[in-house]
Chains A and B, each alone.
Chain A
Amino acid sequence: MMRRRHCLQLPLQLPLLWAAARVRAGTAQPAPVAQPVVVAQFGTLPAPAQVRRVFAAGPPAGVLVAALAPDKLIGWPQTLDEDARAFLGPRLAALAHTGRLSGRGSTAPLESLLQHAPDLVLDAGTADATYVSGMRRVSAQTGLATVLIQGRIADHAAQLREVGRLLGVAERGEQLAAEAQAAIDLAARLRASVPQALRPRVYYGRGADGLETGLAGSINLELLEFCAGRNVAADAGRGSLTRVSLEQLLAWNPEVIVTQDAAFARRVRSDPLWRSVAAVQTGRVHCAPALPFGWLDGPPGVNRLIGVRWLLERLHGGHAALRALEPLPQAVRRFYQLFYGAELSAQQLRRLLED
């Protein structure tokens, strides 16, 4: 049976680039971090003290620069609605939308990039050859200095430290890196104490119908494995985002469902079709906050650091390593103050944590 299915798969998958040969490639352990944080840099980098205006090329870089040096961020690469801006400090909330420079389709023309007169163009996140060559082109064509930063969750402490130095805010970089390191260490402790077999099997539903998810190795679902959960979709192989069917979901029968989409969370709790799923029966359906940025992804940047704590509590509530920590609301308040310069009201805090 298996063999026949493989035979069927092969001719089909060959032309389908995204599924490619990597499907069914074993387990989904987070890859060890060996790469340097700065993946590539082009042009003459200004001295840190000289960096006054930074253009963030994509959403993860936008959040990174906003956290480290809000006064130096020229604008937001992503559009932010009023709802999101309400969760940012006054300086960040007032920044205009400048458009993004890399990724799927640039919306910032090079001329407007030059008009902004940045001292540095920074991109963070996925750092493959496409992005490296993109940054090289921008630098060659505009003469601006460009830097590309590695952006997996385990890199965030090093990322904050390194970019803090590049932007001339080394001290703040150290402070935020310590926060990031605490989250990374906490997750590592949990992973060390919960053996693979005891980790909950989690489905991460994206999109309004919740039937989009990510395969093993997807940066959008990194937090699942990182927080000692098992991504059920990892069974289907390695890759990035994909669509699945409800039938597939019933076959996986996850113990926990997490999402960032409130419409899907409401639907999954009330729709009779989902009633057979274990997670729904036991009430373990959790909706992560997404303001001003997602706690799980969207963008996959340093904004996820608070999501680490949140997801650990959802997956391993009552674990000894979590009991010793400051209460979650307090941690959230501190994170928003530190990273976004936002003083959360009691109402905003409640809204974030209503799950």
Chain B
Amino acid sequence: MLALALLAAVVLLAFGAGKFSISPAELWRAVAARLTGAPSGLPAAVETVVWRIRLPRVAAGLLVGMALAAAGAAYQGMFRNPLVSPDILGVSAGAGLGAAAAIYLGLPIAAVQALAFLGGLLAVGAVLAVAGLVRRHDPVLVLVLAGVAVGALLGAGISLIKILADPTTQLPSITFWLLGGLNAVTPADLAATAPALLAGLVPLALLRWRVNLLSLPDEEALALGVSVARLRLVLVAAATLATAAAVSLTGIIGWVGLVVPHVARLLVGPQFSRLLPASLLLGGGFLVATDTLARTAASIELPLGILTALVGAPFFLVLLARGGRGA
């Protein structure tokens, strides 16, 4: 309950803050007008900022933060490893390569997002395919190692494109994209991405009671009547879908998927059925708060990926030092 109230406060703050100065009274008038259907009498620019710039931005922050945190929590549970983040299977590297290639080819922004999304899915598809071919080792270990290798390969591809790109025009665009940010989110982007994102989150929520079983040895889980391999595949697919959609919308934003589940675990314990909702709330709130900071703290827009690391990592270390029993 408290978490929900906090989240609401963060969202409200995010709506009130920004480069375009809008007073709380104006904001209230815009909202009231929308609720009652009456004209607000506000300048068109104010309406545009509130409904078509800030609303999609805050909504995207919420959704992306939720997706990354939930995917992180799922992956950490699945792989029984606290150092796992949503990009463990190469989603970010694949998305990065797709976006970099699109920028290098001079394609419009919609194509950059589409290629990023496809790149993320293809990367994880490749990892799963490789893992499917190897049958002699522990499947979880194979999956992680294949993810590391494919991620490195795709990272090399990104570097290659950066070297080939025009240093004065394309290279800054690629760099900015890889640093992540919510500043370019439009209502259309959100409408295009949200379904994929939610389609990834829903199975995670529905399967939340079963994820704990994955921490048991495969044979024991099987004895309880759960096909571990199939459950793992569904979870990987869902988490990948959510992460790829998130990354295609915002670029690469690190740390949320790694840190937030840990913080959630410190707060509510390791039961996935409780961990998932906590991660969702915290992830959404954290990203909206960080983005609010990104767009108000300095006179320029700070890349979100840098801020999440800057805020997330020290916070994580403090929690780790004080909690002691986490991770």
Contacts and interface: CB of A to CB of B under 8 A. Distances in A.
Contacts, number: 142
Interface stretch (B44-52, B236-244, B318-326): B44-52
Interface in B236-295: 293, 295
Interface in B141-169: 162-164, 166-169
A263 B169 contact: no
A237 interface: yes
A254 interface: no
Interface string A52-66: 000000110000000
A19 B299 CA distance: 9
Nearest to B111: A208
B20 A23 contact: no
Nearest to B179: A243
B86 to A, nearest CB: 23
Interface in B166-212: 166-169, 171-173, 176, 181, 183-184, 186-187
Contacts of B184: 209, 211, 245-246
B310 to A, nearest CB: 7
What interface size band does chain B fall in?
35 or more
Interface core residue of B53, B168, B303 (most chain A CB under 10 Å): B168
A294 interface: yes
A238 B53 CA distance: 26
B303 A8 contact: no
A242 interface: yes
Given A23-B300, A78-B166, A212-B176, A276 B44 contact: yes
Interface in B30-68: 44-45, 48-49, 52-54, 57
A329 interface: no
Nearest to A24: B299
A78 B167 CA distance: 9
B103 interface: yes
A250 B53 contact: yes
A9 B168 contact: no
A233 B176 CA distance: 17
A273 B48 contact: yes
Contact of A243 (B186, B299, B301): B301
A247 B20 contact: yes
Given A100-B167, A247-B18, A253 B45 contact: yes
Interface of B: 18-21, 44-45, 48-49, 52-54, 57, 103, 106-109, 112, 162-164, 166-169, 171-173, 176, 181, 183-184, 186-187, 293, 295-303, 306, 310
